[in-house]
Amino acid sequence: MDCARRIVEAALDKGADEAEVFSLKGEGTGLAIERNIISSISGGAEQGIGIRVLKDGKLGFSYCTDESKSKEAISRALSISKLGRESDFTFPEPEKSRPVEKLFDERIAKYSAEEALEATSGLVEIALGVHPDIIVSRGGVGFGWGSFVVANSKGLEVESTGTYIGAGVYTVLKGEDMSTGFMDFSSRIFNIDFDVIGREASELAVKGQGARKVDTKEMDVVLTPDAASNLMEFLIAPALYGEAAHKGESVYSEKLDEIVAHESLSIVDDGALPGGLNSAEADDEGVSSKRTELISKGVLKGFLYSQGTALEYGEKNTANAMRAERLSSSRNYKSPPTVKARNIVVEGECRKVDELIGDVKEGVLVYDVLGAHTANPASGDFSVNSSMIFKIESGEVAHPIKSAMLAGNFPEALKNLKGIGDDYKLVSGGLTPISFHIPSMSLEGIRVTG
């Protein structure tokens, strides 16, 4: 905190009208699994400082790795600020932030590589025990802690520290034919069950044996939390960003207060979700994390803003400034803040997943989707491939499908939502820091191409 404050002062001394320092520190350990063995253990420690200055109404950004190099960084930020156009930007005022529960767990902070090694070997053993021909092809376990400080010349000072742990594995079964399985789990606290992850990944591959082709037609689709979050990450979340909405780049532009989804469906962004994978006391500009209703019982209620976009469009700051590099899911000091969803929470009338499946005459149950990042966020149109997919006939899972393509318009599909499950899962984004607390979702009228 003191170091951040000193650099803010130094930037003001150098001539900045306002200044902000984002300082990041963290340490992590990762174990990689390749073909049934733990192939490597690696770790890293990172620290860094991102500096934003405001001079004559123009913003400049630079970064460096430690305080000893901050003088040069301030000069670079001031020099690059000259390029900018004058705006009414000003850094956020300090406000009281609430503590958020379940972000830090001492057990993770103290977890050792040795313990993780033991647990990971256990996971692999359990997975291999499910079927004699199973291969745990790849996967990994990662854990660590991270902390960031934001200080600005308005007197704002915020610090947030958190831990994380996660594990995920892919399995391959070469039996009659080739099938694959997958399971993962992520958390901020130490509530991970390694054995369950191994077992379920293998069980999915076993279930995938005996796959058949599927006919090409429109049908119901039940998406597991992993598949649903993947489509939400690239098709729904970006359409709810204030700037995209104001600029007419979103399917939700000019639709405030209109019905945009099924009347039972609500979508919320909650940066303060207890234990949320992207929760923190504040966003990356130091603004207290908030819960923002985006779609409430089918009606579009709002969009997401950072300090810059809130000021530009005269809206309330929803604490959605995140610093992450493009195509990266982790917080980073090298990038200036942009708007990103924090934890997207899908709410509605939850039912047992069996009931969701029971309601499907003809459809598919989808565990994974490939290529959601290639979808068209401006229109909401998507076309993805799934190779962990099962046919549903007369309300029961009938047989696995070799591979199928799913296509449609996701925002439209949310209007035809048949229901959501009660199997809530914390899922982290694939290529963005956006995280989810999301159940299975059952949708109507998706084009399935076999």
Partner 1 sequence: MPCRNNGDFLQNIINKGLDMGASYCDIRFGKSKVTAIEVKDGELKKASSGEEEGVGIRVLYDGVWGFFSTNDTSEESLTNALTAAMKMARSGSTKAKEKVGLCEVDVIRDKVIWKPKKDPNDVPMTEKHKILSDMDETIHKIEGIHTVTSAYSEGTVEKRFLSSEGADIQIEMTRVVVQVNLVAREGAKVIGYRGRIGGTCGFELFDAQDPVEKGVKLGESAVRVLRAKRSPSGRFPVVADHELTGVFIHEAVGHATEGDLVTSGDSILEGQIGEIIASENVTIVDDSTVKAAFGSFPYDDEGVKGEKKQLIRNGVLEGYILNRETAYKLGMESNGGARAESFTARPLVRMSNTYIENGDHSLEELLKDTDYGIYAKGTRGGQVDTAKGSFQFSAQEAYLIEKGELTIPLRDVSLSGMTLKTLNNIDAVGNDFALGDPGYCGKGQLVPVGDGGPHIRIREAVVG
| Interacting positions 301-330 with partner 1 (CB under 8 A) | 327-328
Question: Minimum CB separation from partner 1 for residue 83, in Å?
Answer: 5
Site for partner 1, residues 170 to 199, rule: CB under 8 A: 170, 172, 178-180
Name the residue nearer to partner 1 (CB basis): 330 or 416: 330
Q: At its nearest, how many Å lie between partner 1 and the CB of residue 61?
A: 4
With respect to partner 1, which residue has the nearer C-beta, 100 or 211? Answer: 211
Stretch of 34-42, 96-104, 355-363, 435-443 contacting partner 1, by CB under 8 A: 34-42
Residues in the interface with partner 1 (CB under 8 A) total 84
Closest separation in Å from C-beta 387 to partner 1? 5
Stretch that binds partner 1, among 31-39, 91-99, 100-108, 144-152 (CB under 8 A): 31-39
Site stretch for partner 1 (CB under 8 A), options 30-38, 156-164, 274-282, 433-441: 30-38
Closer residue to partner 1, CB minimum distance, 197 or 353: 197
CB of 152 or CB of 266, closer to partner 1: 152
Q: Is 61 in the site for partner 1 (CB under 8 A)?
A: yes
Tally of CA atoms within 13 A in the half-sphere of 153 that contains its CB? 20
Given the rule CB under 8 A, which of 73-81, 287-295, 343-351, 352-360 is the region that contacts partner 1? 73-81
Instruction: Please select the residue that binds partner 1; options are 299, 378, 397, 398, rule is CB under 8 A.
Output: 378
Angle separating helix axes 70-81 and 2-13, nearest 10 degrees: 50
- CB nearer to partner 1: give 292 or 386: 386
Chain center to CA of 6: 33
48 binds partner 1 (CB under 8 A): yes
Which CB, 49 or 344, lies closer to partner 1?
49
Name 162's Cβ contacts closer than 8 Å, sequence gap at least 6.
Answer: 103, 104, 145, 146, 147, 188, 279, 280
Cβ-based nearer residue to partner 1, 114 or 349: 114
Query: Of 57, 94, 175, 371, which one interacts with partner 1 (CB under 8 A)?
Result: 371
- Residue 273 or 303 with smaller CB distance to partner 1: 303
Decide whether 55 or 290 has the Cβ nearer to partner 1: 55
Instruction: For residue 135, give the amino acid letter.
Output: I
Nearest-approach distance from CB 212 to partner 1, in angstroms = 15
34 forms beta bridges with: 37, 138
Residue numbers 210-269 binding partner 1 by CB under 8 A: 216, 247-249, 251
Among the candidate windows 151-159, 219-227, 281-289, 375-383, which touches partner 1 by CB under 8 A?
375-383
SS (H, E, C) the chain: CHHHHHHHHHHHHCCCCEEEEEEEEEEEEEEEEECCEEEEEEEEEEEEEEEEEEECCEEEEEEECCHHHHHHHHHHHHHHHCCCCCCCCCCCCCCCCCCCCCCCCHHHHCCCHHHHHHHHHHHHHHHHHCCCCEEEEEEEEEEEEEEEEEEECCCCEEEEEEEEEEEEEEEEEECCCEEEEEEEEEECCCCCCHHHHHHHHHHHHHHCCCCECCCCEEEEEEECHHHHHHHHHHHHHHHHEHHHHHCCCCCCCCCCCCECCCCCCEEEEECCCCCCCCCCCECCCCCECCEEEEEECCEECCCECCHHHHHHHCCCCCCCEECCCCCCCCCCCCCCCEECCCEEEEECCEECHHHHHHCCCEEEEECCCECHHHCECCCCEEEEEECCEEEEECCEEEEEECCEEEEEEHHHHHHCEEEEECCCEEEECCCCCCEEEECCEEEEEEEEEC
CA separation for the pair 338, 304 (Å, rounded): 11
Closest approach, Cβ 219 to partner 1, in A, equals 13
Q: Given the complex with partner 1, which of 29 and 279 has the nearer CB atom?
A: 29
Q: Cβ distance 17 to 81 under 8 Å? A: no
Using CB under 8 A as the binding rule, whether residue 60 contacts partner 1 is answered as yes
**Distance in Å, CB of 311 to partner 1, minimum:** 14
Residues 116-175 touching partner 1, rule: CB under 8 A, are 117-118, 121, 135, 137-138, 170, 172
Stretch touching partner 1 by CB under 8 A, among 12-20, 56-64, 275-283, 420-428: 56-64
Answer for which of 74, 77, 123, 441 binds partner 1 (CB under 8 A) is: 77
Footprint of partner 1 on 386-445 (CB under 8 A)? 387, 403, 405-407, 431
User: Which residues face 404 on adjacent strands?
Assistant: 386
Q: Can you tell me which of 15, 44, 129, 210 binds partner 1, judged by CB under 8 A? A: 44
Please state the closest distance from residue 395 (CB atom) to partner 1, in A: 26
CB-based contact 268:232 (threshold 8 Å): no
